[in-house]
Structure 1
């Protein structure tokens, strides 16, 4: 059974919910084109998330996905955070700035956000997806009672089986090729680094839930390959970064179409969690840093402050320029035109 059938999609494609890149305009354009648009609200509070949902609904009457972060709430570690600030100090000084005196948890996990739960139960988006973990039984039951279809990222069979046991409707098989943050439930656990092909087949065969393939998929042939592996849909993120509806800044777009696209790197330096990024000054520094990064998203507080300090004097190499291994295949098209191109490229 394909739970996406209830949404009336004409295209088996999901636009990945990329915090800091996806916008209401992009979400609506993708959904209006017959695919499933997504808006990421994990980096905002319930009030801002409601405004984003309202903005999408003002632009489309089609279903769309709302994505949430469900990480374990960060554990403050004063000594770790102090050493991290000290390690970053010379970088701040290079751009005439001082590091923040202390760091804070800038994103609240949905696991502890009752206001977000109440807002979602009231607004009832057609689809809700989870990244970094699973909510508790009460939150899942509340969202199911609101009529929401629930998706969760899985990077392993164990995570997919946990999603099934929790009552999730379908899993997003996030291969190691994928851009942005790894969806691992425990970022300190060993990572088998399964690629999209291997993970999708494994979860289709043994996970017990419908599977959405994600990671490295950039064109219609990639979508068709995912469907041939047994997936019910493909999720694409990097493919949408260069769309005019994206909120990616000029530096991110330029880097995407540079030689950096051929050498993406997994780093913890920017946010405290493993994430695939275009190589830049921050990832270069992170590859040699000898200090332990604080928990996500506490480390991200420092990373964002450094990026702003550098940008203030014209240096753009400290941004979170997320991208997957398919980045060299990126193209700059309006979101609706990209969906049309993907459909045209799908053989069969």
Structure 2
């Protein structure tokens, strides 16, 4: 039976989840590796050149690591729907001098071909994919290059489709996870399942090794996922406040704000379902937000950048899973030790 050592090259079943947009840094990944765990770099929203530099830095450190890549599975939005939403949120940008109402409807593939060329040319120990299944030829090429390939799934049906591609393992992500849901069907995300139940369903359907992800609030959740059959557990939200993470100050402060009392799944910021702390932007616009990724991501990005710089947490995407109360400011080594103490 494939275990964590065979799949990831480490013995400790704690895995730093990829968190695109800033929190995942080489410093964080190095600290997790030094503590005995495994870390993913987040290639999302980064150029191939930037990813190559991070790979080179981590490779020099000597710890196993992985790279997570977004599969380009666009969620189309019509020009009319896009313009309606841009007009609706335009007042949010006014305090920052942003003219959101005239923003272009942008669609891109996040440098898909460039990143795959890099990973074929400079193989890393593990490559994971999210937002959908990669083409079978991509899985074949990466495995031939020497990488183990994982796909994020949110239910047993997706797991079966991913297994048919010949992947080495699966990341079973529950709906309690922070940030974007990795579902193949963003218009109809799966019903929430407790993480141990999801692990059992995915492992039972495919027989592949499974990494569990979503809603982890502490060591007890790690132990429960492992008892359900996971070989390792991804933690993301619990590392957002780590000393080595790249989480911005506005996001950090919001995670510790006792007035923020819940997380919600919203498409208001990016046009794809993602879990975040509820704030006023979500309250004002979630019900009216169309599906439309990456067009809505590009529309709201200047607003989110401005809000982060201004300390405006009510116009910022405060990605967080349901276990966010367990996050605390501390060195990664201390956080990893706490997560493994019940094992």
- Distance in 2, matches of 1:310 and 1:326, equals 24
Structure 1 partner of 2:304: 307
Worse-superposed segment, 94-103 or 237-246: 94-103
Structure 1 partner of 2:265: 266
Q: Deviations over 1:135-162 (max 9, x none)?
A: 1111111100111111111111110001
Specify every segment of 5 or more residues in structure 1 that has no aligned partner in the other structure, as ranges. Answer: none
Q: Deviations over 1:50-86 (max 9, x none)?
A: 112122223x201101001113135362212111111
Alignment of 1:132-211 (within 5 A): 132-211=131-210
Q: Deviations over 1:227-278 (max 9, x none)?
A: 1111111111111000111111111111111225540111000111110001
Alignment of 1:54-69 (within 5 A): 54-58=56-60, 60-69=61-70
- Does the 8 A contact of 1:3 with 1:169 survive in 2? no
Counterpart check, 1:241 vs 2:252: no
The residue matched to 2:203 in structure 1 has which SS? helix
Cα distance change, pair 169–262 in 1 and its aligned pair in 2 (3 A): farther
Cα distance change, pair 203–313 in 1 and its aligned pair in 2 (3 A): closer
Cα distance change, pair 190–322 in 1 and its aligned pair in 2 (3 A): closer
The residue matched to 1:47 in structure 2 has which SS? helix
Structure 1 partner of 2:330: 333
Counterpart check, 1:212 vs 2:211: yes
Structure 1 partner of 2:342: 346
Structure 2 partner of 1:98: 99
Worse-superposed segment, 137-146 or 90-99: 90-99
Counterpart check, 1:29 vs 2:31: yes
TM-score (normalizing by structure 1): 0.92
Worse-superposed segment, 269-278 or 251-260: 251-260
The residue matched to 1:54 in structure 2 has which SS? helix
The residue matched to 1:282 in structure 2 has which SS? helix
- Does the 8 A contact of 1:106 with 1:298 survive in 2? yes
- Of residues 293, 299, 304, the one that matches 1:296 is 293
Q: Deviations over 1:69-119 (max 9, x none)?
A: 113135362212111111111222354432162334465257xx2221110
Specify every segment of 5 or more residues in structure 2 that has no aligned partner in the other structure, as ranges. Answer: none
Worse-superposed segment, 92-101 or 212-221: 92-101
TM-superposed CA distance for 1:306, in Å, is: 1.8
TM-superposed CA distance for 1:307, in Å, is: 2.0
- Distance in 2, matches of 1:191 and 1:330, equals 26
Q: Deviations over 1:142-183 (max 9, x none)?
A: 100111111111111110001110111111111111111110
TM-superposed CA distance for 1:304, in Å, is: 1.3
Cα distance change, pair 163–183 in 1 and its aligned pair in 2 (3 A): same
Worse-superposed segment, 270-279 or 192-201: 192-201
The residue matched to 1:209 in structure 2 has which SS? coil
- Does the 8 A contact of 1:226 with 1:234 survive in 2? yes
Cα distance change, pair 327–134 in 1 and its aligned pair in 2 (3 A): same
Alignment of 1:275-286 (within 5 A): 275-286=274-285
Structure 2 partner of 1:4: 4
- Does the 8 A contact of 2:87 with 2:101 survive in 1? no
- Does the 8 A contact of 1:150 with 1:170 survive in 2? yes
